[in-house]
A and B are shown apart, each in its own frame.
Chain A
């Protein structure tokens, strides 16, 4: 039980996918303008991460390992992730069209979000058990959402700030992102 808590919290804080491992930067910068779309994106990514882990773990250990096909991990994992992203997209289009619209191109881009592929591959690399993998995926997704929500708050402040012309837009956003990332370095060593 204790080890599961450690995995969950370290995936969220010390090894935060966005702010410590620099995975999934593109939606982090693209969708963090507004709080509600940031939360929506976080939930969508968490859902895809959990589902992908749920399916890729049995595929890896049940089908690929017995047949000595570990080198197929990436191909099959991407296929599974694409499947779930498409599923989320059709569901959102039907149920929450406004969120579907505000996420725009970033929703199909979850497919190529390296954070999602990263979770599934890291689960295998760290030789986690099934339960640990699911917790790791949950922590990764929540950590992603946490980063997006925190950063959407920062960006709202940025919008009202009087920034020199040269730094307006992308430069100030990237600088703010690096400062948020530095603040997450404070968590390092929490579980060692």
Chain B
């Protein structure tokens, strides 16, 4: 009896509470569109925010309620867009696969450190300290703030600079947000020509600091048949809407600052 009565009392309270809640749930029932849950399941649940919504669940409800395009999920890519379209019963929207790229090629062979930083191992911390420890103040610091936030484990460090593995990259853009030098951009995967330098120093200063830097000579601008490459702030940038990937700029570049990531 010493055990029975307490058990009965607590159990009774529990059952009573359960019944009450069931009744309340029936009275205050809210219709939830079941497609939202299905779409949420089709999304990769990375909650990266690359689509412009607070998370996968938020994007899912925006698709159903506001008719937002289904192809905004970058980590999910064509796969997720196809599944979402199947759930909604619409034609699958085209997905341009995207990838992140680090616009710096200043590895250990090309440039040097000006001092040894022994503080917190973070690019942001080094950047605060005399604008970074590299000779070039615009290049990759190489302590891996980007790799730390990458949910796809796509960032490796080769010879002191970050390299992104296109096969693993989800193009969510988290790395681009944390890079203190803003070296990382998101670009279409099939456009394989990249300028791997972001130095805004003039040609002479860049040349002194780094052997792989873009000196802003504008030869690529003249050689490009499509007008897709232009020099601004002493380094070249590519307009991916116009670039056809012909490689004329790459061949013409006197400092070999333009590279192709095509295997």
Contacts and interface: CB of A to CB of B under 8 A. Distances in A.
Contacts of B20: 83, 87
Q: For the side of the interface on A, what is the size category?
A: 20 to 34
Given A79-B14, A80-B17, A64 B9 contact: yes
Interface in A52-76: 59, 63-64, 67, 69, 72, 75-76
Contact of B28 (A79, A82, A83, A90): A90
A90 B22 CA distance: 10
Contacts of B14: 79
Main secondary structure of the interface of B (DSSP, over half): helix
Nearest to A95: B28
B116 interface: no
Given A91-B28, A93-B28, A93-B30, A79 B13 contact: yes
A173 interface: no
B259 to A, nearest CB: 37
Contacts of B21: 83, 86-87, 90
A67 B7 CA distance: 12
A83 B22 CA distance: 11
Nearest to A100: B30
Contacts of A86: 21, 24
B5 interface: yes
Given A67-B9, A72-B9, A79-B10, 13 more contacts: A59-B13, A64-B9, A69-B9, A72-B10, A76-B10, A79-B14, A83-B20, A83-B21, A90-B21, A91-B24, A93-B28, A94-B30, A95-B28
21 contacts: A59-B13, A64-B9, A67-B6, A69-B5, A69-B9, A72-B6, A72-B9, A76-B9, A79-B10, A79-B13, A79-B14, A80-B13, A80-B17, A83-B20, A83-B21, A86-B21, A87-B24, A90-B21, A90-B24, A91-B24, A97-B30
Interface of A: 59, 63-64, 67, 69, 72, 75-76, 79-80, 82-83, 86-87, 90-91, 93-95, 97
Interface of B: 5-6, 9-10, 13-14, 17, 20-21, 24-25, 28-30
* 3 residue pairs, one from A and one from B, having the closest CB atoms: A94-B28, A83-B17, A90-B28
